[in-house]
Structure 1
Amino acid sequence: MRKPVLAGLLAAATLVPAWATPPLPEWRESDGYLIGVVVQYQGQTYRALQSHTAQKGANWNPASTPALWQLHHGPVQRCAPWQAGYSYALGDQIRFEGDYYRARQAHTAHPGTEWQPPRVPALWQPIQQCEAVTPVPGNTDTINGIKVPPDPGAAGRKTLAGIDADQDGVRDDVQRFLAQEVGKHPARFKYAMEMARISQQEVLAANGNDREKARTFSNQWGMASDCFDETYEPTQDYEWRLTFFKKQNSLQYNTPERLDAYMKHDGMLGGMMFHLPIRTQCD
């Protein structure tokens, strides 16, 4: 399981620290792009509307693929993407297809209702920019300078979804673990959270038996893993990283139901072909 982890750890390449502030990268064919990544192409700035790999020969450049890229004006703003199935609180801020919205009322975006922000102005108010982090409601703890929800304890293991008090797509117990393990490094924490968010989606979608969705999640997890690895030198903390991923997987799938769901997801990937990016573009 999780072959991209070992592949990333064994890669021998000259890497730029993710905490540096380089100029926006130029779009390149065959690279992988996480949702929200901003690139330059022919002198224009574009934002990725969904995670994808720019397959060689497909001509998926930003100017030619409005389904994948949107022309971006003004400063780069970052916040969590809108997700079907999530429960949103009053005031939550999200991004959707390059635009930003604030929740007008608490609601759950039930799958199949097509309650995307532009379709339901009664639920979402367009805004000019979005905060990078949605405030955690209620009581919070601080771990390595990061505000996190309280420890859910045994209650967090009662259901497949667990408890996600701040609605960021990551279970509270997993979020606390990541803040403790990599919270001192903002870039590592960000990409670790993205991996955990995708892993949670894999678990929740496994019973749907949608093989294409499983492949999409696997590709997205691999790209987030690549970005996580790029915050290290190729051989830096190699043993620590192996231990970290073992501990994270043990926590992510810490009940029989969660492990069974992941095994279903993993089983759906059997015999499938993957178009892996030559390089993943990270924020």
Structure 2
Amino acid sequence: MHRTAIPLLTACLLAPLAWATPPLPEWRESDGYLIGVVVQYQGQTYRALQSHTAQKGANWNPASTPALWQLHHGPVQRCAPWQAGYSYALGDQIRFEGDYYRARQAHTAHPGTEWQPPRVPALWQPIQQCEPVTPIPGNTDTINGIKVPPDPGSAGRKTLAGIDADQDGVRDDVQRFLAQEVGKHPARFKYAMEMARITQQKVLTANGNDRDLAKSLATQWGMALDCFYGTYKDSTEDYEWRLQFSKKSTALNYNTPERMESYVKYGELLSGRVISSPLKMQCD
């Protein structure tokens, strides 16, 4: 009995290890999903292409909304969403409403020109998926173990969009700041980068007078912020540091007269709008 009890006890102690990795969550209506979250739906695996709330009654399930969800067969290569106001170089890769494109020629997508990728095949070539961006050797720095583009200096303040050398949707100066401030905590860095991507979209789209887009970006930013705060054990942990981080981040994002003007314009677009957060968040 003694010899039999030992392996049985060992098996009982080890059994939970087989279940240590939780299953992927099932997609649910009304939940909030941060970009990159992976879910199950009707036996398939999907990855969120953008942060959003699955509005009740909207039928935004993964199989029906390719702009929000991508069928996931392996690692997904991220690429920045197309934005009016950006200056694109030959070969730049972007995503637009669930599809992917490569720039056929260098150009600036001037606001108001309606130069969205599907409308201008002379400028954009459809591709199946974004390819990984390979940094130029020697043209990156490392901050807290994170490879970041070089400091753009004053050149990064010459345009509204600034400089985004690695095409990840975040200005290089902002990315360097975040790597320095929260780079030692991978989850916080990831969520801070998502907030920065959404903030950049706010800056670049504020002059378009699209109030629905402004509200959508506000909701997405709030979701990323909730996930960022979720990395702390409670609401008071590092409170003073977080307060200063927020102030410095805001000052950096809107550090030119043009960007500040865009910030004010974006606030005007939200005037009178009700911004609500989902009851349940999936933070990846």
With structure 1 as the length reference, what TM-score do the two structures score?
A: 0.76
C-alpha displacement of 1:124: 4.2
Q: In the alignment, which residue of structure 2 is the partner of 1:80? A: 79
Q: In the alignment, which residue of structure 2 is the partner of 1:191? A: 191
Secondary structure class of the residue paired with 2:76: coil
Flag the 1:67–1:253 CA change in 2: closer, same or farther, 3 A.
Answer: same
Contiguous gaps of at least 5 residues in structure 2: 1-19
Flag the 1:160–1:88 CA change in 2: closer, same or farther, 3 A.
Answer: closer
C-alpha displacement of 1:188: 1.7
- Aligned equivalents of 1:83, 1:91: Cα separation in 2: 14
Between 1:198-207 and 1:159-168, the stretch displaced more is 159-168
- Aligned equivalents of 1:170, 1:77: Cα separation in 2: 18
Work out whether 1:212 is the aligned partner of 2:212.
yes
Q: In the alignment, which residue of structure 2 is the partner of 1:112? A: 114
Give, as a single letter, the amino acid of the residue that structure 1 aligns with 2:79. Answer: A
- Aligned equivalents of 2:265, 2:53: Cα separation in 1: 24
- Aligned equivalents of 2:162, 2:103: Cα separation in 1: 26
Q: In the alignment, which residue of structure 2 is the partner of 1:149? A: 149
- Aligned equivalents of 1:55, 1:219: Cα separation in 2: 12
CA contact under 8 A between 1:46 and 1:69: conserved in structure 2? no
> How many residues get paired?
259
Secondary structure class of the residue paired with 2:167: coil
Aligned pairs for 1:50-61 (under 5 A) are: 50-61=50-61
Q: In the alignment, which residue of structure 2 is the partner of 1:245? A: 246
- Aligned equivalents of 1:182, 1:56: Cα separation in 2: 35
CA contact under 8 A between 1:88 and 1:167: conserved in structure 2? no
Secondary structure class of the residue paired with 2:117: coil
Cα deviation digits, residues 122-148 of structure 1 (max 9, x gap): 8547457744xx334472221112222
Secondary structure class of the residue paired with 2:184: coil
C-alpha displacement of 1:211: 1.2
Q: In the alignment, which residue of structure 2 is the partner of 1:9? A: none
Cα deviation digits, residues 179-232 of structure 1 (max 9, x gap): 101112222212211111211111122222221121111111111212222222
Flag the 1:122–1:192 CA change in 2: closer, same or farther, 3 A.
Answer: same
Q: In the alignment, which residue of structure 2 is the partner of 1:3? A: none
Work out whether 1:175 is the aligned partner of 2:175.
yes
Give, as a single letter, the amino acid of the residue that structure 1 aligns with 2:238. Answer: D
- Aligned equivalents of 1:178, 1:254: Cα separation in 2: 15
Give, as a single letter, the amino acid of the residue that structure 1 aligns with 2:51. Answer: S
Q: Answer with 1 or 2: which has the greater Rg.
A: 2
Flag the 1:90–1:264 CA change in 2: closer, same or farther, 3 A.
Answer: closer
- Aligned equivalents of 1:258, 1:55: Cα separation in 2: 31
CA contact under 8 A between 1:44 and 1:71: conserved in structure 2? no
Flag the 1:156–1:264 CA change in 2: closer, same or farther, 3 A.
Answer: same
CA contact under 8 A between 1:36 and 1:78: conserved in structure 2? no
Cα deviation digits, residues 234-264 of structure 1 (max 9, x gap): 2332222222111101111122322221011
Secondary structure class of the residue paired with 1:147: strand
C-alpha displacement of 1:265: 0.5
Q: In the alignment, which residue of structure 2 is the partner of 1:271? A: 272
CA contact under 8 A between 2:25 and 2:40: conserved in structure 1? yes
Flag the 1:82–1:199 CA change in 2: closer, same or farther, 3 A.
Answer: closer
CA contact under 8 A between 1:148 and 1:176: conserved in structure 2? yes
C-alpha displacement of 1:46: 2.3
Q: In the alignment, which residue of structure 2 is the partner of 1:164? A: 164
Give, as a single letter, the amino acid of the residue that structure 2 aligns with 1:113. Answer: W
Percent sequence identity over aligned pairs: 64
CA contact under 8 A between 2:31 and 2:280: conserved in structure 1? yes
Give, as a single letter, the amino acid of the residue that structure 1 aligns with 2:116. Answer: E
Cα deviation digits, residues 159-178 of structure 1 (max 9, x gap): 32222222322222111101
CA contact under 8 A between 2:38 and 2:47: conserved in structure 1? yes
C-alpha displacement of 1:152: 2.1
CA contact under 8 A between 1:53 and 1:275: conserved in structure 2? no
Q: In the alignment, which residue of structure 1 is the partner of 2:140? A: 140
Work out whether 1:280 is the aligned partner of 2:275.
no
Give, as a single letter, the amino acid of the residue that structure 1 aligns with 2:65. Answer: P
Between 1:161-170 and 1:200-209, the stretch displaced more is 161-170
Bigger relative contact order (CA 8 A; separation at least 6): 1
- Aligned equivalents of 1:21, 1:94: Cα separation in 2: 33
Give, as a single letter, the amino acid of the residue that structure 2 aligns with 1:150. Answer: P
- Aligned equivalents of 2:160, 2:72: Cα separation in 1: 40
Give, as a single letter, the amino acid of the residue that structure 1 aligns with 2:227. Answer: C
